[in-house]
Structure 1
Amino acid sequence: MRLVLGLSGDIDRMQVERAIAEFRHGRPVLIEDGEAALLAIGVEDLDAEACARLDVVAMGRARLVLTDKRLGRLGKERTVPGAVALPTVDAARIEALARRIDARLDAPAHPIAPLDADALELARLSFVTPAVVTVPVPAEVEREPSLVRVPGAAVRGFRRAQARLLRVASRAPVPLDGAVETEFVVFRGGEGMRDQVAVVVGAPDLSQPVLVRLHSACLTGDLFGSLKCDCGDQLRGTVQAMAQGEGGVLLYLDQEGRGNGIANKIRAYELQAEGFDTYEADEALGFGLDQRRFDFAAEMLRQLGVAKVRVMTNNPEKIAALEAAGLEVVSDLRSVGRRTAENVRYLATKRDKAGHMIELDGATAPKAD
């Protein structure tokens, strides 16, 4: 009898997780759909040496896949992603088209294939620049055994599958300053390979509407007190309000930079220092208005026994997401932080461009020069 060692469980999910790791390390991945196959690699760390190796494989068939937002920045207005032909895999041209702010595209942007879209989704899941170089791989071409291979369908279904796998990983009392009776509940699954935290303040009555806040992690504001946003004030103010009231649940969600990741958030900050507003900066990098999802947040609340909520938020999208997920939103309250010279434009932009319910005494978002 021959014993074969292997891993049971969801093979598709495992393949996507390995592909994400490869993308984050700047290595190519083979995405497959039946007989069709595509070699894909993110543009980060794609230096001249790597491009030269890729050029040998590509034989003139490489394409640079960009989001509609990035193409708009390059002067090609589109509502869907597009691809730019790369007769040669040139590192300088790729860097310019994918990341330089003053670049313009002097070539057509072609429609993308389904596997190109899967490659772009892998970049988003990996929190790297949302731009990929892709090369179609004919069926007769021998594939390097060390290449990580992933089905396109698995990439497309990854987020949805993760939401179904949400479960409590650990929980324990964690007394906080001003909120001694507090429990941290850590959830695994729901959003990629990251853990999410529910902070249960006090002893909320689950038979009644529970005060809830969905708070996306903000390293700069929550931990370091950045003056560019009001996130830290909202975080601490919410916990204080819950402790002084009838308790509540704060979901601390690992969705830094509106779901773009910390590296892209800091890149956006660099552009903001040059005059872009928060959404213009994200669009210049290739991102849409908001990449966050909140369906798994509703499932976290359900697993805690919460069915009716009073939501503390300024963001109407969070209210709509909880309602769409089947929770009863009884009321919504505003979450207010300090107004500073450094964050007033940011707050006004969120109000004016994303419909956030923020009172600023008539302030408007200044225009970039």
Structure 2
Amino acid sequence: MDRATAEVRRGGMVVVMDGTAPLLVMAAEAVTPGTLETMTGLAADDLRLAVTARRARLLDLAAEETEVAVIGADHPLDAATLRALAEPGETRPKNGFSAESRALDTPAGAAVQLMKIARLLPAAVIAPLPTEAAADPVDWALARDIPRVAAADVLGYEETAARTLMMVGEAQVPLEGAENARILAFRPADGGTEHLAILIGEPKPDAPVLARLHSECFTGDLLGSLRCDCGDQLRGAIEAIAKDGAGVLLYLAQEGRGIGLVNKLRAYTLQDQGYDTIDANRQLGFDDDERIYAPAAEMLRKLGFGRVRLMTNNPLKVEQLARHGVEVTERVPHVFPSNPHNLRYLQAKQTRSGHLF
């Protein structure tokens, strides 16, 4: 998985295999005329574009409530067209385009999911392997130094990464407002991105622990951005836990509600054009919230905490922790004043995402 994600991020090809219909896959946002020519020379058929069904509906190319759509055309798709179909904007394809529905658990669905894991736009250029390669895609890919990955491994990656989290380092780090604090780093078995746990005081495993799940926010946490309330939530949670005596803050590597920093900046641009935070994500082809909470539950278990008093305004976090086996004994409100720059954002979270303020 690590080589496959690195390859698509730099604009290269990978082979996604499922045993019956392996696909050549490339990130739509990274495609160039040169890479497209190389891919066309290797493929058995015309190149097509796999996107989320949400994105296809925005392009007026799919009506069914499926998870993935594969867009084709009655003419070869060039790099500029593929990028225009993948990127947000007012582009609507003219005549000659069509879309077919696909389930997530297909090679096309795995191709789109691979882009999400790589924190790219959820759009993949796909093509079937030539006939002689389909019988033995492993050797075919090895001979051409093309990374390969099983569709099942892509689709199960997030849960697998969470399940294999191990603590790999810790240190005492006195914090402003919480001098008795330790930071523990957790890394999945594949060497992927680390999540952090900040232990404040000496929380007791035999009682519900005061806990906060905080998704990283470079702009809010580090730069003090006024477009969100993340910085206030982070520092406020540390202070509240210290005042309570003990607890844990999980700092999760899920920037931008799971879409990544670059896509979050793209969403900000769309918000400046009038979209709210939910519709901006949808314009990019993402769900309203792409975060998962299996890593948080696994970290809590490894720290010995099976019950929590959860500091949150988001009922989804309560539901997801319970789904993953962590009992939430109390929801502790975690509210901070708005400002002129984040008022619309907070209102959208309340009215459209069900946050409780």
Does TM-score exceed 0.5, indicating one fold? yes
> Secondary structure, in 3 states, of the residue corresponding to 1:147?
coil
**Aligned position for 1:124:** 116
Does residue 100 of structure 2 align to residue 110 of structure 1?
yes
Gaps of 5+ in 2: 134-139
> Secondary structure, in 3 states, of the residue corresponding to 1:18?
helix
What CA distance in whole angstroms lies between the structure 2 residues aligned with 1:128 and 1:120? 10
Amino acid at match of 1:79: E
Deviation string, structure 1 residues 186-215 (Cα, Å, up to 9, x no partner): 111189811000001112222211100000
What CA distance in whole angstroms lies between the structure 2 residues aligned with 1:191 and 1:203? 31
> Secondary structure, in 3 states, of the residue corresponding to 2:265?
helix
8 Å contact from structure 2 (residues 12, 35) kept in 1: no
> Secondary structure, in 3 states, of the residue corresponding to 1:111?
strand
Relative to structure 1, is the Cα distance of residues 160 and 126 closer, same or farther in structure 2, using a 3 angstrom cutoff? same
8 Å contact from structure 1 (residues 163, 190) kept in 2: no
**Aligned position for 2:136:** none
8 Å contact from structure 1 (residues 172, 185) kept in 2: yes
8 Å contact from structure 2 (residues 211, 310) kept in 1: yes
Amino acid at match of 1:250: L
What CA distance in whole angstroms lies between the structure 1 residues aligned with 2:347 and 2:190? 29
Question: Among residues 76, 79, 82, which one is paired with 2:65 in the alignment?
Answer: 79
**Aligned position for 1:310:** 309
Greater displacement, 87-96 / 258-267: 87-96
- What's the RMSD between the two structures over aligned residues? 1.7
Greater displacement, 189-198 / 112-121: 189-198
8 Å contact from structure 2 (residues 211, 311) kept in 1: yes
8 Å contact from structure 1 (residues 35, 139) kept in 2: no
Q: How does 1:37-186 map to 2 (within 5 A)?
A: 37-58=22-43, 60-76=45-61, 77-80=63-66, 81-86=68-73, 87-106=75-94, 107-112=97-102, 114-141=106-133, 143=141, 144-186=143-185
Q: How does 1:18-37 map to 2 (within 5 A)?
A: 18-37=3-22
> Secondary structure, in 3 states, of the residue corresponding to 2:205?
coil
- TM-score, normalising length from structure 2? 0.92
Amino acid at match of 1:70: R
Greater displacement, 253-262 / 78-87: 78-87
8 Å contact from structure 1 (residues 51, 89) kept in 2: no
Aligned length: 343
**Aligned position for 1:9:** none
> Secondary structure, in 3 states, of the residue corresponding to 2:76?
coil
What CA distance in whole angstroms lies between the structure 2 residues aligned with 1:254 and 1:316? 20
Cα displacement (A) at 1:23: 1.1
Greater displacement, 134-143 / 148-157: 134-143
Gaps of 5+ in 1: 1-15, 359-369
What CA distance in whole angstroms lies between the structure 1 residues aligned with 2:9 and 2:218? 20
- TM-score, normalising length from structure 1? 0.89
Greater displacement, 89-98 / 79-88: 79-88
Amino acid at match of 2:11: G
8 Å contact from structure 2 (residues 29, 120) kept in 1: yes
Greater displacement, 19-28 / 248-257: 19-28
Cα displacement (A) at 1:61: 2.0
**Aligned position for 1:242:** 241
What CA distance in whole angstroms lies between the structure 2 residues aligned with 1:206 and 1:82? 46
Deviation string, structure 1 residues 125-169 (Cα, Å, up to 9, x no partner): 100111001000134145542111122222222222212211111
> Secondary structure, in 3 states, of the residue corresponding to 2:29?
coil
Q: How does 1:136-285 map to 2 (within 5 A)?
A: 136-141=128-133, 143=141, 144-189=143-188, 193-285=192-284
What CA distance in whole angstroms lies between the structure 2 residues aligned with 1:278 and 1:78? 24
What CA distance in whole angstroms lies between the structure 1 residues aligned with 2:59 and 2:296? 36
Indicate the percent of aligned positions where both proteins have the same amino acid. 40
Cα displacement (A) at 1:35: 4.4
Cα displacement (A) at 1:48: 2.1
What CA distance in whole angstroms lies between the structure 2 residues aligned with 1:166 and 1:207? 23
What CA distance in whole angstroms lies between the structure 1 residues aligned with 2:333 and 2:64? 36
Deviation string, structure 1 residues 320-365 (Cα, Å, up to 9, x no partner): 111112222111111112310110100000111110112xxxxxxx
What CA distance in whole angstroms lies between the structure 2 residues aligned with 1:335 and 1:72? 36
Greater displacement, 58-67 / 162-171: 58-67
Deviation string, structure 1 residues 83-138 (Cα, Å, up to 9, x no partner): 11144130111121111410113422112371111111111110011100100013
8 Å contact from structure 2 (residues 44, 129) kept in 1: no
Q: How does 1:310-349 map to 2 (within 5 A)?
A: 310-349=309-348
8 Å contact from structure 1 (residues 191, 296) kept in 2: no
What CA distance in whole angstroms lies between the structure 2 residues aligned with 1:231 and 1:191? 29
> Secondary structure, in 3 states, of the residue corresponding to 1:212?
strand
> Secondary structure, in 3 states, of the residue corresponding to 2:149?
strand
